[in-house]
Amino acid sequence: MWRRSFVMPVAAAWLPGGGEILAVDDSATAELAVIVHPKVPADKLTAEQLYGIFTVSRKDWSADLRVVVFNLSPDDKIRVAFDRAVLRMEPENVGRFWIDQRIRGGAKPPRYVPDPALVVRLVERLPGAIGYVPAKMAPSSVRIVARISQNKVVSP
């Protein structure tokens, strides 16, 4: 019994995402699409590239096109699923990550918008924009550069 009550939480904490990676699993987050404006010079993005973009380490698509990242609200379950899959962080770790960046004088967090429909509209119109939405919401006017499925980044 003690193994279940003690060992399991400890083992879970060792896993990226604290071992709760399956906690969010409904139709909205079952598959996410990472979408970019059609002018973005990338057909697909790897997990490492997404990590760099969404931690604002990578700020340029090219010499004359900057990355404009749109996030969802920190408590949005789509955002939570995305952060677990791409950043390998729980919401609390994400909060600490951005506080650490601020204290170091580093990058500022991406701006966030309240709902995925708005992300679609922004990405459609703003050159350099990137965001993520439930896959079924991604219109043909944007380019899908990666998908998040079963907590993994996969090719579009």
Among 21, 33, 72, 129, binds other proteins (CB under 8 A): 129
Q: With binding defined as CB under 8 A, does residue 22 bind other proteins?
A: no
Q: What is the DSSP letter of 3?
A: I
What is the 3-class SS of 119-147, one letter each residue? Answer: HHHHHHHCCCEEEEEEHHHCCCCCEEEEE
By CB under 8 A, which span of 21-29, 31-39, 86-94, 135-143 interacts with other proteins? 86-94
String of contacts with other proteins for each residue 56-85, x by CB under 8 A: -xxxx--x--x-x-x---------------
**Is there a contact between 93 and 82 (Cβ–Cβ < 8 Å)?**
no
What would the two tokens of residue 127 be? Answer: 């050159």
- Select 87 or 145, whichever has its Cβ closest to other proteins: 87
**Is there a contact between 154 and 50 (Cβ–Cβ < 8 Å)?**
no
CB of 9 to other proteins, least distance (A): 4
